[in-house]
Amino acid sequence: MVFDSPGVTPLNPARDSGWNLHHSYTGLPEMFYTKVAPTPVSSPRLVVFNRPLAERLGLSPDALGGEEGAAIFSGNRLPEGGSPLAQAYAGHQFGGFNALGDGRAILLGEQTTPDGVLLDVQLKGSGPTPYSRQGDGRAALGPMLREYIISEAMAALGIPTTRSLAVAETGERVFRQDGMLRGAVLTRIAASHIRVGTFQWAAAAGGESTLKAILGYTIVRHYPNLADSENPALALLKVVIDRQAQLVAQWMHVGFIHGVLNTDNVALSGETIDYGPCAFMDVYDPATVFSSIDRNGRYAFGNQPAITEWNLTRFAEALLPVLDAKEEVAIAMATEALEEYEAAYGNYWLVGMRKKLGLFNKEKDDLSLVEDLLEWMHQTGRDYTNTFAALSQLGPVDDRFLEWTERWKARLGRQTQSLEESAQLRRDSNPAFIPRNHLVEAALAAAQEDDLAPMEKLLEILANPFDHSRAAPEYQQPDETGGGNYRTFCGT
């Protein structure tokens, strides 16, 4: 089935913008995608363009930083080699299984970078597809700029993530819960958009042959070293379990809350994907939820490790037919692999927390040292980021917590590394700056009035999150109102 939109023209190949697009995804069975063109917009305008990322991709920032970029990044013009399609997948959304697909996203192709890396180039908010489920296929300017800010902040923090190349305004309005809003398209760059939900779709709608197809494609695309494994499906399951354990531990280290951790938002590449109702926690509380649609706290900050294990279990279920011909054997294999998750997550989390405390070696009481600090932070309503940042200097100064501070300092004294080496490890592991929710909202509000200065300044600060020498206290303080009523939205 071809779901075409008129008016989209190819790029004039005489203008060398550096595009090197191909589409290996079309080698999969057609049940995994539908060819569909972006819907043209009336007045495209480039709002923000990530020049350093463009250069990394082998693109020409000068060629794409003006009208040509606005046309391409809005979906009005296809880049050379672009072959747009919408991907099909399924997913458990808040525990309920649904057939899904790219309802407002179109994959233009895969760009081969100068260093030989293959990266997806996707337009988000580029119009309806066969998977839109009665949605308009569009996106509003605010949520697209929000994804730009948060994904770039995550990249600077060293956390695997999709990236944002550009946001283009469409000149058209979209209707959302806040009324009529300015429309926009985000250009997202990803290692791929293969999800747990992609495998769920293959298992539910295709069967063993389609599972083998997406299994083989995923291994070639991301884990070619697994190709010669005795059981490639089992090998893939194990490596994805490990990647996700590590990723979620990294989220927990910086207080990041994904907000909508459905199975269709778990990328097999191990990247953070889909910045909808995401946010960063200020005051430490494991029950923190910002998402307006997460009314029961399913995806609360403290629930993210367990929910990830739940999602991985759904991945294992989808893989059962290709794990082994005998279902009971396949279940045993999957169960054994999943039993490794808790230990893997716990190890990644504790390794990171040791670094945040400036600890190079291991001692048996380190876990209780970390847990006691978190409990104190919870009881006293301390800011998560700033408390750890303070450890880079003198540690928490509070008469009620002198006993912990003395334990911590004694622990530091039992290392062979110097106190300065420990302090440097803490500075390298504890960000001084995160995307504070009130600052993000202020930047988005200003952008709605065509004032991009606050956003540009915020992006500049967030590009160097571990710069503890920078004097910018206004970017380090939590919301003075406490942020208790702060809510985030998906933007659909």
Q: Is 177 exposed, middle or buried (0-12, 13-18, 19+ CB in 10 A)?
A: exposed
Q: Of 12 and 383, which is predicted with more confidence?
A: 383
Domain assignment present for residue 433? The answer is: no
Model confidence over 431-477: pLDDT tens digits?
Answer: 999 999 999 999 999 999 999 999 999 999 999 999 999 999 999 99
Q: Is 304 exposed, middle or buried (0-12, 13-18, 19+ CB in 10 A)?
A: buried
Banded pLDDT at 20 (limits 50, 70, 90): very high
Domain boundary among 190, 212, 238: 190
Distance between CA atoms of residues 50 and 256, nearest Å? 23
Same-domain status, 123 and 185: yes
Domain assignment present for residue 411? The answer is: no
Residue 137 neighbours by CB under 8 Å, 6+ apart: 39, 103, 104, 125, 126, 127, 128, 129
Same-domain status, 218 and 186: no
Q: What is the pLDDT of residue 486?
A: 72
Same-domain status, 66 and 167: yes
Same-domain status, 184 and 227: no
Which single residue is written with the structure tokens 């999957």? Answer: 334
264 assigned to active site: yes
Token reading at 92: 């458990």
Which single residue is written with the structure tokens 């990236």? Answer: 163
CB 140 within 8 A of CB 176: yes
- If one counts the domains in the chain, the total is 2
Same-domain status, 45 and 144: yes
Average pLDDT, the chain: 93
Distance between CA atoms of residues 240 and 341, nearest Å? 10
Same-domain status, 201 and 340: yes
Same-domain status, 117 and 15: yes
Distance between CA atoms of residues 102 and 172, nearest Å? 21
Q: What is the pLDDT of residue 1?
A: 28
Banded pLDDT at 401 (limits 50, 70, 90): confident
Q: Of 207 and 363, which is predicted with more confidence?
A: 363
Banded pLDDT at 394 (limits 50, 70, 90): low
**Among the options 102, 120, 264, 324, which is catalytic?**
264
Same-domain status, 237 and 111: no
Beta-bridged to residue 188, according to DSSP, are: 122, 164
CB 331 within 8 A of CB 320: yes
Distance between CA atoms of residues 349 and 357, nearest Å? 12
Q: How far is CA 180 from CA 2, 45, 277, 442, in A?
A: 31, 18, 19, 19
Distance between CA atoms of residues 90 and 196, nearest Å? 8
Same-domain status, 36 and 176: yes
Q: By residue range, what is the domain housing residue 275?
A: 196-348
Euclidean distance between the first and final Cα of the chain, in Å? 25
